[in-house]
Amino acid sequence: MRSFTWGSACRRRLARQRLLAPAPAAQLVETVRAVGGIQAQVLSAAELAIGARVADITRQDVRAALWEQHTLIKTYGPRGTLHLLPADELPLWMAALRATETLSGPPWYQRAGLAPS
């Protein structure tokens, strides 16, 4: 049986989330893929989250990947919140989320007692 210290478990999580050694700028999409998407309810927060994981990246680079190159998409992802996801993984994510109550149930605003407007 393997055992971990609290410190080694934290280092492992930080490394898996690409927070110990930022990836090169050319790996922007691969980094988003590796961490399972970046929460993007507020786009500037997603830009900061990617900037912490990818070296020498600007918010314009993130926006270009989203709006010009279409290598990232902004859609409902894990937990039913907006995420940036690799565009080539959209079918995978939609199939996975369809199997959960997140997309098959009522929209979040109806669950919160709000009208669509």
Write the pLDDT tens digit of every residue in 8-26: 999 999 999 999 999 999 9
pTM, two decimal places: 0.80
Average pLDDT over residues 61-75: 97
- CB environment 21-37: b (16+ within 10 A), e (fewer): ebbeeebbbebbeeeeb
What is each CA distance from 37 to 61, 67, 81, 112, 117, in whole angstroms? Answer: 16, 17, 11, 25, 28
Write the pLDDT tens digit of every residue in 84-115: 999 999 999 988 888 776 556 667 677 788 88
pLDDT mean across residues, the chain: 90
Work out whether the CA dihedral 106, 86, 32, 50 comes out positive or negative.
negative
Q: Please report the pLDDT score of residue 104 as a whole number.
A: 60
Instruction: Give me the residue label for tokens 């930022």.
Output: 22
69 three-class SS: coil
